[in-house]
Amino acid sequence: MADECPKCPQGLPPWLATFADLMSLLMCFFVLLLSFAEVDAQRFKKMAESMKDAFGVQREVPAVEIVKGTSVIMQEFSPGKPEPSPIEDIRQITSDLEQEHLDREDHDATKDVDEAKAAMQAELEREVQAQAEELQEMLETQISEGLIDVVTESTNIIIRIQEKGSFPSGRANLNPDFFEVISKITEVIATTPGKIIVAGHTDNIPISTKRFRSNWELSSARAVTVVHAMLSNASIEEERFLVQGFADSQPLVDNDTAENRAHNRRVELVIRRGEDVELEAELEAELEAEPTATLEE
């Protein structure tokens, strides 16, 4: 019995458990060191938000950047610039030619309209000058006496009726002898197209009577009186008239002398013919545009 070997205790020695715990702690320590060596702020933030949501903290924190994956294709390859196909080249050349052709047509059409407008303007100015000369011949006596002036400005005929011989001072009723002059003027204007502006003007001396509170009322009343006298001729349409009163706001000369003030007291008949050219030019432009619109449709 003395020769028998002593029996060893069962199981591992107690120190081995302590050694295994130490090795596990060392491994966890190095794993933590490795994980904290490079911190991804976006991923850490999202992980923190997930932890907060998991623990019941309901607070939205907007992300500065959305985490995106890395494309292997974008790392290895770069985008190329494809060459245009022959069909695309042909289409581009065709588009350029069409645009050039359209631009040339627009330029030619604009040039034609401008030339036509200039020709109509010149013809209209000659016509206006002839009508002004006709009026001057008919009213030669009144013009020589200084009662009326007939002038032209571009395509407008201006007939200035002076206060002398037409209106009593400070009043708006025509002198009986002046109705014959108004009748002669109306006969020519009735056959002349265009808008008729009848404008009254005064000097700068204020007026204040029971009938007229200011020069504005006096100038407007005189213009209305002339219009009524002209409308006694049934051949002229009342739609053509426009009545204006300017008082002393548009003097012909300075109101520094009695003669100049008398020259500023007047009623002007302005026959506007320039609108005819504009309307005809617009009509021609519309006619030029119609074929192009038809082709586009």
Residue-wise DSSP of 214-252: SHHHHHHHHHHHHHHHHTTSTTS-GGGEEEEE-TTSS-S
| Residue 141 pLDDT level (bands cut at 50, 70, 90) | confident
pLDDT for 145 = 84
Q: Higher confidence at residue 4 or residue 93?
A: 4
pLDDT for 277 = 47
- Find the mean pLDDT for residues 16-31: 89
What percentage of the chain has pLDDT greater than the value 90? 18
pLDDT for 253 = 92
Q: What is the C-alpha to C-alpha distance for residues 179 and 53, in angstroms, rounded to an integer?
A: 101
288 has pLDDT over 60? no
CB 161 within 8 A of CB 147: yes
Buried/exposed code over 220-255 (b: 16+ C-beta within 10 A; e: otherwise)? bbbbbbbbebbeeeeebeeebbeeebbbbeebeeeb
What structural domains does the chain harbor?
A: 121-280 (3.30.1330.60)
pLDDT for 295 = 34
| Residue 198 pLDDT level (bands cut at 50, 70, 90) | very high
Q: Which of 247, 242, 194 is nearest to 218 (CA)?
A: 247
User: What tokens appear for 38 in the block?
Assistant: 């490079």
Question: Considering the entire predicted model, what is its pTM?
Answer: 0.54
- Find the mean pLDDT for residues 148-172: 86
User: What tokens appear for 192 in the block?
Assistant: 């002349």
Rg (CA), the chain: 50
8 has pLDDT over 70? no
162 has pLDDT over 70? yes
Q: Higher confidence at residue 85 or residue 140?
A: 140
DSSP state string for 126-152: HHHHHHHHHHHHHTHHHHHTTSEEEEE
Q: How far is CA 238 from CA 80, 241, 277, in A?
A: 77, 6, 22
| Residue 238 pLDDT level (bands cut at 50, 70, 90) | confident
Q: Which of 56-60, 112-116, 194-198 has the highest mean pLDDT?
A: 194-198
| Residue 146 pLDDT level (bands cut at 50, 70, 90) | confident
CB atoms within 10 A of CB 192: 17
pLDDT for 291 = 45
- Find the mean pLDDT for residues 260-283: 74
pLDDT for 292 = 41
CB atoms within 10 A of CB 188: 17
User: What tokens appear for 176 in the block?
Assistant: 């009986």
Q: What is the C-alpha to C-alpha distance for residues 206 and 252, in angstroms, rounded to an integer?
A: 18
Q: Higher confidence at residue 201 or residue 281?
A: 201
β-pairing, 195-201 vs 241-245, is parallel
pLDDT for 2 = 55
Q: What is the C-alpha to C-alpha distance for residues 266 and 164, in angstroms, rounded to an integer?
A: 9
β-pairing, 148-153 vs 156-162, is antiparallel
Burial class (CB in 10 A: 0-12, 13-18, 19+), 21: exposed
Q: Higher confidence at residue 234 or residue 96?
A: 234
Q: What is the C-alpha to C-alpha distance for residues 231 and 185, in angstroms, rounded to an integer?
A: 12
pLDDT tens-place string over residues 78-94: 666 666 555 555 555 55
User: What tokens appear for 177 in the block?
Assistant: 């002898």
